[in-house]
Structures are given as structure tokens and as C-alpha cells.
Amino acid sequence: MAPPKAKPGVLQITPYAGSEVGSGGADRIVISSNESAFGPSWRAMEAYSATSEEMHRYPEIDARSLRLALAEHHGLEVERIICGCGSDQLIDLIALAYAGPDDETVYSEHGFTMYPIATRGVGATPVAAPETDLTADVDAILDRVNARTKIVFIANPNNPTGSYLGNDALRRLHAGLPEDVLLVLDAAYAEYVVAPDYDPGIALVREASNVIMTRTFSKIYALASLRIGWAYGPPEIIEILDRVRPPFNVSTPAIAAGIAALDDTEHTARSRDLNAELLPWFVSEVEAMGLTVNPSVGNFVIIRFDPESDRHAEAAYQFLFERGIVTRRVAGYGLPDWVRMSIGTRAEMEDVVGALRAFVEGT
């Protein structure tokens, strides 16, 4: 007898790869996972701690109080909101409920890797649409939609490229899709975007029957370890996702911290403003070294290193790592010559600029 064999789709999954953070203590500069360098609101930390005596109790079955807080904060309807153990879980649930063997999903070439992983996990086939200038290409995506297509995933802005589709392009994408194809707008970085033509998709969700927007507390709210995501969609789709959602999937401390974080609008605004100030400064410093930086509207950038020289991407990654700076290689995203760096604090980014300059100048 042969040992148990996993489903064919699962065997095709390339596991999600993060950066090794390594040891070396608190003085490491970790800019590998797009976490907020400015940390969570102290009110979120207090709310989290205050729940410690409830550990023996199950959390709310459906994160109702967090959903109510999200509805109030964003002016949305609570029955159109579902919470997940990270938005990654919501991506999984969407794939589980809407795609299966013989189905396809479409995502953009350098899109977030959870889309092909979730797709293969349910036995469906992920189809990558080529990008133009490291930006999702609406026509290329629409070209790959056919009778087997069940879902189109788009991260807006996209990780790792940092590029985004403006509202007009997003609406053109939606207008070109058959009504039975679900459009997933992953707006994990929405709160950082200051571009005037950007829209995370709330209006489109309201107008259409086939659009769902996902969001997260892992980025600007700086609650990555608590694993909280949420989605806003048509009530019929939320009801379907609720059938496959594990009960109690958001913990009590996560719910409490999430509500407090939403409430601390000053902290969120400060984090956004700091990023809006540090991102262009960092980009100009790096460009002054002769390196190419892809324009980004998020809290991270990708930087290109010349594969023909000995100062290629892997060399840059290693050089920085040895100096206590943890970045992310993005070869798994089809970008072998680029390294992704999140925007840390000013002091951290000054160190990163110094180290990068030393790398480029070979000192």
C-alpha cells in the first residue's frame, strides 16, 4: 500500500515564502513583511490586554462587535461584512466557495501569491495575466477570462510591485467581466494610498452583484500578529462565505484590539502621514544611487539590482542581512532582480540608505 497522497492541486502549490528574520536581537531592522513600523495604537494594546481573563471563553461566533465597529467606521451595512483570521483566510474561503476542479481563476502576473495558492488548494487552475510596466493590465486580464473562469483576484495596490489601478481602470475591468465571475478587490494597503484617482472599491461593491473587497488590520493598523481581515460584499456572497467560515475564527483579543485600533483615527492618520513623508524621501535617496525603484503607493517599494553585475539582488539581500537589515527577495513573484523593502521608521530608513549606499559603492 502507498502512503496517503495529497490532491494533485495541493501537490502543485509552492509554499508561501517569507524572509528568515533570524536572531541577532532587537536592533535588527525588519522591513521584510510590510508591517507598520510605527506600531499599533496604545489603545489597541490596552484593549488586547484587558481581555486576558476571558481566555477560557470562546470568542463571538461571527466577530459581531468588530463587524459593527467596521460598519460604523466606514459607513457600511453590518450584514455585508465578514471577518477572517487575516484576509488570507477570506481569500481561501472565497476560493473554497466559488472555485473547484475544472475552474480557473485569473490574477496578474506579479500579483499576491496567496491567489494561486488558494486556487490550487481547491483544485482549480490559476491563470496569470501578463502585466505592463509592473502594473495589472486590464485587457490582458479580460483576455484570459473564459467560460471556466470563476474568480478574478486583484490586489489594489499590488504587493510586491506597489502599483495600482485607478478607479477608471478598475471600473473598466469590472465592466468587461461576465456577471457570473467574482471580482475580488484586495485592498490591504488602501489606508496608505493618497493618490486622488484611487478607490478601494466600496462603491463598486454596492453597485454590482459580483464584487467583493477584502481589507486587513495587518498593515496600517499594525496588528499583523492578531490575524484580522474583513471583507465587504453583496449580502448573498457574504452569506455563502459564512457557510464555509469556521466559527469563532477571530479571537476575543483580536476583536477588542481591532475595535480600539479603528477608533484611534489619530494614530492611523499619523502612520499614513509618516509613510507619505518617508516613502518619497527613501525613493529619492535610492534613485540618487543610480538604482531603479518601481513607483509605489503602499508602505513598501521594490528596488532593482543589475543581474549582470556582482551587485545583483541576492548580493544586496545578503549584504543588508549581514548588517542586520532584513528585506524580502521577490523571485517567487517572477521578479528575480528586485528586492522589496517596507518603509520603516525614519531612523531605520536612514540606516538602510547608508547600508545600500555602501553596497552600491562597494565599500
Ligand X SMILES: *Cc1c(COP(=O)(O)O)cnc(C)c1O
Q: Which is nearer to ligand X, 33 or 319 (CB)?
A: 33
* 216 is a contact residue toward ligand X (CB under 6 A): yes
* 112 is a contact residue toward ligand X (CB under 6 A): yes
> Strand 228-232 to strand 81-85: parallel, antiparallel, or no bridges (unpaired)?
antiparallel
* Residues in 29-48 at the binding interface with ligand X, rule: CB under 6 A: 34
Which residue's C-beta sits nearest to ligand X?
A: 86
- How far apart CA 63 and CA 39 sit, in angstroms, is 23
Number of residues in contact with ligand X, rule: CB under 6 A?
14
* 294 is a contact residue toward ligand X (CB under 6 A): no
* Residue of 313, 86, 334, 351 whose CA lies nearest to 219: 86
Site map 145..184 versus ligand X, x via CB under 6 A: ----------x---x-------------------------
Q: Which is nearer to ligand X, 229 or 253 (CB)?
A: 229
Could you give the dihedral angle defined by the CA atoms of residues 87, 90, 94 and 97, in that order, rounded to the nearest 10 degrees? Answer: 170
What is the smallest separation between the CB atom of 359 and ligand X, expressed in angstroms? 26
What is the smallest separation between the CB atom of 186 and ligand X, expressed in angstroms? 5
Q: Which is nearer to ligand X, 66 or 355 (CB)?
A: 66
What is the smallest separation between the CB atom of 185 and ligand X, expressed in angstroms? 11
Q: Is 186 helix (H, G, I), strand (E, B) or coil?
A: strand
What is the smallest separation between the CB atom of 361 and ligand X, expressed in angstroms? 32
Instruction: Give yes or no for a contact between 303 and 341, defined as CB atoms under 8 angstroms apart.
Output: yes
Evaluated on CA atoms 72, 78, 81, 83, the torsion sign reads: positive
Rule CB under 6 A: which residues touch ligand X? Answer: 34, 86-88, 112, 155, 159, 186, 188, 216, 218-219, 224, 229
